[in-house]
């Protein structure tokens, strides 16, 4: 049962806020839902499928369906951290193909900035029932040092350098200068990145994404519904998902689950990396992008450093324009979960609605990839490929 | 040394891992090995994550290993080195590298286990240059 061409992204919305100390979490979810429905030209009454993840308050999908007043035939609260919403797009398309819903709403929201969360540097205890906690938490794993260990190993095995990683941030900053909502709009240089304070070796401050409040929403619709709307049409071509973990102690941090989710998505879409005109790549840290690009097949394993250098990811300059909204590194990382905004910018590109300074010409096929959890321990990988109709 | 000043969170032993922490309290590092498929694994489970057998057994290990990767967290009240160490017996475990110059740690470095006291729980296995 392929989803290729059988579901459309009918609406997307990224909340403009980056600091929401005047709003509740449920309110943010409802605001982004409203925004995406208005973008599509649909109403709440059209929604019969709802998707959310661990950022939703209370009982998740139940609490939010109650708050928003949704009448549902289908619900899916698949939780794979920041990659959840990319998986939700694929799951929504599958539910539509299976006849389980016609219009699926996906929401994400969070307020880590208002709540003063030290997202990257403070170890968080997942609770004594989590089987790894006793064997990890005493050693103070935070988010940043887990990704840093993947970077350190990549440098050791392949000779990847801090300057190469810095090019990823440089490219994101070139894009963010055109996004009025981006948290960080200043263009930075490789020198700026490698001279910024070391957070956890080898990751510098500018190798890390922003901490922002906000959220976003996506509407996935049955073709008949999408074709009745006035918006440029974007269809789902293929999706893939995978979980990468510690393999019982046979740990290898040089690759991600994109090694598996990518080929699944490409096969379903019937395209290859060479066909992708624009890529949204989850950028919690610069190293996340570099390893993911290798695993998705945009370059050979170990060649990511060379691939991202010299502006190769800058729209209008390089071969693979990426994260033209500024990504998590410069624009927005709402709820510490960047998967949803990855899909949003890919849809903007396919619609021809990205900022004119970063819009990719003839952008017919785009990819969005999410990485949720931790590269250093266990993570969910999700790839979705979309095409202009 | 830096790690001596960092309060180390106490692990909470579960019934299936109590033997690991009892051994740690006695200064011994043990891991689980599956009698059915022969694979060792880490962190320890009652059911083998490779073949699914429940015939897993505790085995003593040498406590010697190699640093697979590491990172020194600078943005902390007391900087510390987190690492993955691959034991001679093949499994790779999360740990801290301690009792050394944090700036001299290298991938591939030989290390040996040292048990460090925690805040009200059993000691945890950390590693120091061999």
Residue A274, classed as helix, strand or coil, is: helix
Give per-residue pLDDT as tens, B99-124: 999 999 999 999 999 999 999 999 99
What is the model's pLDDT at position A105?
98
State chain B's mean pLDDT as an integer: 96
What is the model's pLDDT at position A119?
84
A360: enclosing H helix or E strand: none
Query: How close A83 comes to chain B (CA, Å)?
Result: 24
Q: ipTM value, please give it.
A: 0.97
Positions in chain A short of pLDDT 70 = none
Confidence bin at B3 (pLDDT 50/70/90): very low
Q: Is B115 on the interface with A (CB under 8 A)?
A: no
Q: How many CB pairs under 8 A join A and B?
A: 122
Confidence bin at B2 (pLDDT 50/70/90): very low
Q: Is A165 on the interface with B (CB under 8 A)?
A: no
Q: Is B15 on the interface with A (CB under 8 A)?
A: no
């993947």: which residue's tokens? A150
What is the model's pLDDT at position A355?
98
Cα torsion for B89, B93, B99, B101, to the nearest 10°? Answer: 100
Cβ distance A139 to B6 less than 8 Å, yes or no, reads no
Task: Write out chain A residues lying below 8 Å of B48, CB-based.
Answer: 248
Q: Is A134 on the interface with B (CB under 8 A)?
A: yes
Q: Is B29 on the interface with A (CB under 8 A)?
A: no
Query: How close B9 comes to chain A (CA, Å)?
Result: 5
Q: Show the tokens assigned to B103.
A: 């700036």
Q: Across residues B18-42, what is the average pLDDT?
A: 98
Task: Write out chain B residues lying below 8 Å of A149, CB-based.
Answer: 69-71, 82-84
Which of B83, B94, B96 is the closest to A135 by Cβ? B94
Taking alpha carbons only, the member of A229, A13, A216 closest to residue A103 is A229
Q: Across residues B51-63, what is the average pLDDT?
A: 98
Give CA separation, B17 vs B32, B43, B44, in Å: 10, 9, 7
């Amino acid at each position: 049962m392929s989803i290729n061409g059988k579901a459309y992204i009918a609406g997307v919305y990224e909340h403009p806020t980056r600091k929401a100390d005047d709003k509740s979490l449920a309110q943010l979810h409802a605001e982004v839902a409203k925004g995406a429905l208005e973008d599509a030209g649909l109403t709440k009454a059209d929604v019969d499928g709802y998707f959310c993840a661990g950022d939703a308050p209370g009982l998740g999908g139940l609490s939010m369906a109650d708050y928003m007043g949704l009448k549902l035939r289908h619900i899916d609260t698949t939780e794979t951290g920041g990659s959840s919403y990319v998986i939700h797009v694929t799951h929504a398309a599958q539910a539509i193909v299976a006849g389980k819903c016609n219009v699926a709403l996906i929401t994400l929201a969070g307020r880590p900035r208002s709540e003063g969360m030290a997202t990257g540097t403070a170890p968080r205890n997942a609770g004594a029932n989590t089987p790894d906690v006793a064997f990890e938490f005493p050693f103070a794993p935070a988010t940043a040092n887990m990704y840093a260990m993947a970077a350190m190993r990549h440098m050791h095995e392949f000779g990847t350098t801090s300057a190469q990683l810095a090019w990823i941030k440089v490219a994101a900053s070139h894009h963010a200068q055109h996004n009025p909502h981006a948290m960080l709009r200043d263009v930075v240089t490789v020198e700026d990145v490698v001279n910024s304070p070391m957070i956890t070796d080898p990751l510098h401050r500018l190798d890390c994404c922003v901490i922002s409040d906000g959220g976003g929403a996506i509407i996935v619709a049955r073709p008949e519904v999408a074709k009745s709307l006035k918006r440029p049409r974007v269809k789902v071509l293929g999706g893939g998902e995978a979980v990468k973990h510690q393999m019982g102690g046979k740990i290898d941090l040089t690759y991600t689950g994109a090694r598996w989710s990518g080929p699944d998505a490409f096969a379903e879409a019937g395209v290859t990396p060479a066909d992708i005109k624009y890529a949204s790549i989850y950028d919690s840290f610069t190293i996340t992008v570099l390893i993911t690009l290798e695993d998705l097949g945009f370059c050979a394993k170990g060649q990511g450093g060379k691939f991202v250098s010299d502006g190769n990811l800058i729209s209008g300059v390089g071969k693979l324009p990426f994260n033209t909204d500024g990504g998590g590194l410069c624009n927005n990382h709402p709820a510490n979960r960047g998967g949803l905004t990855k899909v949003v910018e890919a849809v903007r590109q396919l619609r021809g609605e990205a900022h004119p300074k970063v819009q990719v010409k003839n952008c017919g096929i785009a990819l969005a990839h999410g990485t949720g959890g931790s590269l250093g321990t266990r993570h969910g990988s999700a790839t979705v490929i979309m095409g202009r109709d | 040394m830096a790690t001596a000043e960092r309060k180390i969170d106490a692990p909470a032993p579960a019934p299936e891992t109590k033997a690991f922490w009892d051994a740690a309290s006695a200064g011994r590092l043990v891991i689980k090995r599956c009698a059915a498929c022969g694979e060792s694994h880490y962190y320890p489970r009652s059911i083998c994550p490779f073949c699914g057998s429940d015939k897993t057994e505790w085995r003593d290990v040498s406590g010697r290993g190699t640093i697979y990767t590491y990172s020194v967290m600078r943005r902390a009240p007391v900087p510390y080195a987190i690492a993955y160490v691959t034991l001679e017996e093949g499994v790779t475990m999360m740990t801290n590298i301690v009792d050394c110059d944090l700036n001299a740690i290298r991938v591939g470095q030989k290390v040996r286990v040292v048990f460090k006291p925690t805040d009200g729980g059993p000691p945890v296995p950390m590693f120091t240059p061999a």
